[in-house]
Amino acid sequence: MAEVTLLEAVREALAEEMERDENVFCMGEDIGAYGGAFKATDGLLQRFGERRVIDTPISEAGFIGAAAGAAHMGLRPVCELQFIDFISCAYDLLTNYVATARYRAFLPCPMVVRGPSGGYVRGGPFHSQNPEAAFLHTPGLKIVYPSTPSDAKGLLKSAIRDDDCVLFFEHKYLYRRIKETLPAGDHTVPIGRARVAREGKDLSIITYAATVWKSLEAAEQLEREDGLSVEVLDLRTLQPMDDAAIVATVKKTNRVLVVHEDTVTGGIGGEITARINELAFEWLDAPVRRVAAHDVPLPYAPALEDFVLPQTSDIVRAVRWLAAY
């Protein structure tokens, strides 16, 4: 089988789920005739028709609200945002209404809100954000952020079949850069389980999305230059978080670096660190450290963006500090 990109894996998942279940439909900005801002829905309009691939006005609150109503009535909408940055326009709908629907009124809300996220693409402050932490503390929402084509396809299929709302982040830097041969058949990946992207014994890096690849690059460099064996844990799902996998890697290596692209203050790294302190403190031989973005809006200028976002060299430096502690 031919290798596919992460973007193609997303398109395959959408098409397969729409074929499998006639209640699945897509809606969003320019997803029909244009095929989506990054072409994730290219060809779906011709295959499934305009009743199941719906172009919407540029009103995130409007069509996410419409999707919630459709989900209550038994449909399974998949909403695409042109850039995930603008999910903030629907924050009220998602946190106050969608997330509480089952608790308040026994209303399932089987819907997915997906779109391109992240930086490293010179997109500037309006097209490069990682807003996942803004939703992490909202009970009722699930959050998924894959780093490989296989996981993107398998997790998106699981998200569409889930009876609650799933926020599905797709890193635009990875869309066409990462290729993989996908498993045959009805490939799904369970929500809520991390994966060990690289086995190691001296130190663990806990990460997700694009920084998985930065961490793997750092791990290879550290093994080559320092003889260090670094384990890389890819969380894949941020809510619910896989506490068992986090504790297992802490027990295995006793030193942990948390790496993510979002800002360091208020980022998910703080939550991961707190859980390690509560669940696995006695296995630590060094403080948990974080590598994350600086607390500034992401610049457009390439040199400034590179400075603000975590780079492989930042990870290498932090690992060496931990190893020497």
Residue closest to 273 by CA, chosen among 73, 109, 286: 286
| Domain hosting residue 83, numbered range | 4-180
> Are 137 and 252 part of one and the same domain?
no
Residue closest to 28 by CA, chosen among 69, 71, 84, 110: 84
> Are 19 and 59 part of one and the same domain?
yes
* Count of structural domains within the chain: 2
Torsion of CA 237, 239, 242, 247, to 10 degrees: 120
Domain end position, chosen among 157, 180, 203: 180
Residue 111 resides in a domain: yes
Please report, for the domain that includes residue 246, its CATH number.
3.40.50.920
Domain end position, chosen among 132, 150, 180: 180
223 and 230 in contact (C-beta within 8 Å)? yes
Q: Which residues of the chain have pLDDT under 70?
A: none
**Per-residue confidence (pLDDT) for residue 122, from 0 to 100:** 96
Is the bond preceding residue 110 a cis peptide, omega within 30 degrees? no
Instruction: Count Cβ atoms below 10 Å from residue 113 Cβ, excluding itself.
Output: 28
**Per-residue confidence (pLDDT) for residue 2, from 0 to 100:** 85
> Are 159 and 76 part of one and the same domain?
yes
> Are 10 and 149 part of one and the same domain?
yes
What distance in Å separates the CA atoms of residue 297 and residue 164, rounded to the nearest whole number? 32
Tell me how far CA of residue 182 lies from CA of 4, 12, 151, in angstroms.
Answer: 7, 10, 9
Q: Name 237's bridge partners.
A: 144
> Are 275 and 152 part of one and the same domain?
no
Residue closest to 116 by CA, chosen among 28, 34, 179, 47: 28
**Per-residue confidence (pLDDT) for residue 6, from 0 to 100:** 98
Q: Name 290's bridge partners.
A: 258
Residue with tokens 């400075």: 307
At 164-219, the pLDDT tens digits run 999 999 999 999 999 999 998 999 999 999 999 999 999 999 999 999 999 999 99
Residue at 285: amino acid letter:
D
> Are 169 and 258 part of one and the same domain?
no
> Are 108 and 223 part of one and the same domain?
no
Residue with tokens 């809300």: 109
172 dihedral zone (left: phi>0; alpha: psi -120 to 50; beta): alpha
Contact partners, residue 87, CB within 8 Å, separation at least 6: 60, 81, 94, 113, 115, 131, 167
Domain end position, chosen among 114, 148, 180: 180
Q: How much is the CA Rg of the chain, to the nearest whole Å? A: 19
Please report, for the domain that includes residue 160, its CATH number.
3.40.50.970
Active site residues: 127
Residue with tokens 């619910």: 240
